[in-house]
Amino acid sequence: MEQYELRDLETGKEYIVAYHDKDKYIPCVVKVVKEYTVKFIRPKNQSHSPLEFNKEYTIANFWHEHRGRDLFDNKFRMIWTFDSFAVAKAWCEFEKEVMDYIEYGK
């Protein structure tokens, strides 16, 4: 797994990330679109994805962290990416087990 600051993401490159949907994470592939801000879209070749076609997503929709603030009090946000889809899926399943244990004691 690696963390990237938004400015360090490559435009047009695809990354494996964890999409946050309600109370769970779902592994998916996103493509980076940079204009004024960084947005993520569903790649055209992805048939099984929780993301909708032609919809742009922000970092808030994915597993990310805040790493301090800049001079203007804006948060530095870092997005977590995975080396493979299998690792992303395993992490999402582990995260679900942890949340179930915390919520239900199972």
Count of domains observed in the chain: 1
Provide the greatest CA pair distance for the chain.
45
**In contact, 29 and 49? CB cutoff 8 Å:** yes
Distances (CA, A) of 5 to 18, 21, 38, 59, 66: 16, 22, 10, 10, 10
Residue ranges making up the domain that contains 53: 2-104
Q: From CA 79, how far away is CA 60, in angstroms rounded?
A: 9
> pLDDT digit string (tens) for 6-45?
889 999 999 999 999 888 899 999 999 987 678 888 888 8
With residue 52 as reference, give the H or E element that holds it: none
| CA of residue 29 relative to chain centroid, distance | 9
Report field, pTM of the whole predicted structure over 0.75: yes
Q: From CA 8, how far away is CA 15, in angstroms rounded?
A: 12
> pLDDT digit string (tens) for 54-102?
889 999 999 998 888 888 888 888 999 999 999 999 999 999 998 888 8
| CA of residue 53 relative to chain centroid, distance | 16
Q: Return the structure tokens found at 84.
A: 């493979």
